[in-house]
Structure 1
């Protein structure tokens, strides 16, 4: 589990009311546009999480005591602490719903970044398991279960309805993966992802896993580059 604590975020202890048990956990999304920049820049994930807390604390109508969620999960697989353990959520819609379940939000939204990565789903499961060890029951539901809302969006809710299974991706090398050093993997990833600036904000770490580079990942990155190049060519002025 990759946990980013409140202390690491520069936040004081949560002022949210204590609650030691719930029926389980409800999964949320942001319900607003989320930038795809979060996919390639983990600092953007931290900034997004801090912005959510700031907006909640500034909301005089809801009068939140803290960021509404117990935890957030980012596309890179980090579990970001919010209210944390044994704290009542403020995210589920009303007092009785907040008392019934804790809350975890995936940093995806209604447009832009809408689909969770496998790493995000794993981080949500990390949060669920952590909360279960500290008083949460076995239920896993979406925000819309019991409250009239589109949250947590189609992709996340479909996953919840399947029982929120942990993704089966593994760090073990696959049959067609190629052994490669971390230094070489970073060079390859930068070349594939940037192509002299065609794609911004490269994230070389996504192309390597425990000393192996996934051919599936490489092909996916190359396909992205081709699409960007085709789009750029289509915008060039036509010869008369």
Structure 2
């Protein structure tokens, strides 16, 4: 999914009251998800970032504190962008890119919002040249933010509804064509399949060298059931069993934000 960002000028941002500090991408190591608070959000379009900006100016800040805001239609609004220090989580405003998904209370995020937030994460990783740690606001500060639904999604590995993030192959069976820069561990993480199982299926041994254009057979999925343990997420279960987490979700009718409970018995595709 490509990332299209509505600029500050397009949504009508006010001038900064004082210029935020610049932060090089080399210092970015985290990606924080936020929500709007305890009340569901009914605003739409440009009214969303404008309302956040007004609130943050009222706090005495120089302007909107989030780097980006994502609405329920999947629109992405520029806040502090890629270059400025955030004002979204104490002690993490330089290291963390802060993204608010514009929902509140127990409001459910749309698939469009989750896809955009995930695409923005992938773009952030590409720009920084590293895999950023996925965080909910509560991971850096004592708060309920980003709410139970979004936090469960973060813990699940921020999967993109509809199978986003799996370009290049079909998880849980089929083939994958090796692309420039790929490693077994990266392919496994991208497809939700144990890299060791990919290596075993293709007879690849240490030092696990891949060639661009090489076609890898993907291991078939298992069968039976799995009982969810404390700390599990769909992505963790999928990686452990060598099964695409998307197929597990589909087989069990689990919608975004992919919440599972300890003791829950999952059918394996």
Asked if TM exceeds 0.5, the reply is yes
Q: Which residue of 2 aligns with 1:2?
A: 4
In 1, Cα distance between equivalents of 2:8 and 2:119: 17
Matched, 1:80 2:77: yes
Classify the secondary structure of the residue corresponding to 1:134: helix
Are 1:75 and 1:116, in contact at CA under 8 Å, matched by a contact in 2?
A: yes
Q: Which has the higher contact order (CA 8 A, sep 6+)?
A: 1
Alignment partner of 1:106 out of 101, 106, 109: 101
Shift of 1:146: 2.6
Shift of 1:77: 0.9
Instruction: Report the TM-score when normalising by structure 1.
Output: 0.60
Q: Which residue of 2 aligns with 1:28?
A: 34
Moved over 4 A (4+): none
Alignment partner of 1:158 out of 119, 138, 152: 152
Q: 1:125-153: per-residue Cα shift (whole Å, max 9, x none)?
A: 12212322333752111000031100000
Alignment length, in residue pairs? 157
In 2, Cα distance between equivalents of 1:17 and 1:137: 23
Are 1:86 and 1:134, in contact at CA under 8 Å, matched by a contact in 2?
A: no
**Gap runs ≥5 in structure 2:** 165-269
| 1:13/1:165 CA distance change after superposition, 3 Å | farther
Shift of 1:169: 6.1
In 1, Cα distance between equivalents of 2:84 and 2:100: 15
Matched, 1:143 2:140: no
Instruction: Report the TM-score when normalising by structure 2.
Output: 0.54
Counterparts of residues 175-186 of structure 1 (less than 5 Å): none
Counterparts of residues 81-96 of structure 1 (less than 5 Å): 81-92=78-89, 94=90, 96=91
In 2, Cα distance between equivalents of 1:45 and 1:97: 28
| 1:28/1:118 CA distance change after superposition, 3 Å | same
Q: Which residue of 2 aligns with 1:224?
A: none
Q: 1:50-101: per-residue Cα shift (whole Å, max 9, x none)?
A: 0110111121xxx312201000111111111111112111101x2x222221
**Gap runs ≥5 in structure 1:** 39-43, 171-240
* RMSD over aligned Cα atoms: 2.0
